[in-house]
Amino acid sequence: MKILEGDLRVGDLRIALAASRFNESVVERLVAGATEALAAHGADPGALELVRVPGAFDLPPVVRHMALSRRFDAIVALGAVIRGDTPHFDFVAAECASGLARVAYETGVPVAFGVLTTDTEEQAFDRAGGAEGNRGADAARAAIELASLMRKLGA
């Protein structure tokens, strides 16, 4: 059986970050984690592009535009949606997740989901470089692996 899978060598892969500014103190840690992970696997930090959007709800249309530009082999979407006292969380989290998935399906450009959806700010910090690791770094590694795999598949 022939098995194909991506690897974690950036090489000449073009990977971009898209990050929301809302919940900035959490998101900046995700950006740092993603940037460090990309550099650890061979990316030139000076060559990375970071696109900022106001909030997580705004990520899908901007990431779609980035994907359609065909300038990137993968995109890492980063943000933090923290539950509050209203149903706003449910709408933002759901639309962000489904919108980013739709971008990947429609464009064929891998979109790594590094958007935290937590009940508390403490949980968000735990997942942004705290006790639970850094989901930004995890998403960056997923982006590298997916872009590598897509290239091997001839996409």
The set of catalytic residues is: 88
What tokens does 72 get? 């990137």
Q: Are 78 and 20 in contact (CB under 8 A)?
A: yes
